[in-house]
């Protein structure tokens, strides 16, 4: 079962993402992991470039494998979808658009987990 955090206040930010196709502002409310990298809770800008999500906070940035998918139904609010552990961010559904960003975990699985 995936855990979901709903973010309903991102209407202006997500409109910019939909219009330009390359930038989204998102507030991550809890420390999260993406592809073995840790993001502290805070405000981030995410852009998609050459099969990667570039996630920036201030002058710091990380790059992780990601892809954009289009859903038939428009998302009413921005949602952060986590894997079962509640810490590994798997996907962001972008409010007011048909777009979702899927993060592709490339870290090797540890035996026994």
Q: What is the pLDDT of residue 2?
A: 54
pTM of the model: 0.74
Low-confidence ranges of the chain (pLDDT < 50): 5-20
Q: What is the pLDDT of residue 33?
A: 94
HEC sequence for the chain: CCEEEEECCCHHHHHHHHHHCCCEEEEECCCEEECCEEECCEEEEEEEECCEEEEEECCEEEEEEEEEEECCCCCCCEEEEECCCCCEEEEEECCCCCEEEEECCCCCCCCCC
Q: What is the pLDDT of residue 20?
A: 47
Q: What is the pLDDT of residue 47?
A: 92
Q: What is the pLDDT of residue 84?
A: 83
pLDDT in tens, 15-36: 344 434 568 888 899 999 999 9
């Amino acid at each position: 079962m995936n855990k979901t955090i709903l973010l309903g206040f991102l209407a202006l930010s997500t409109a910019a993402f939909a219009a330009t196709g390359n930038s989204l502002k998102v507030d991550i409310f809890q420390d999260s992991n993406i592809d073995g990298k840790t993001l502290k809770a805070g405000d981030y800008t995410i852009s998609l470039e050459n099969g990667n999500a570039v996630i920036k906070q201030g002058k710091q940035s990380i790059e992780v494998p990601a892809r954009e998918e289009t859903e038939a139904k428009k998302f009413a609010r921005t949602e952060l979808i986590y894997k079962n552990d509640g810490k590994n961010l798997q996907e962001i559904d972008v409010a007011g658009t048909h777009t979702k960003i899927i993060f592709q975990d490339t870290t090797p699985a540890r035996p026994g987990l």
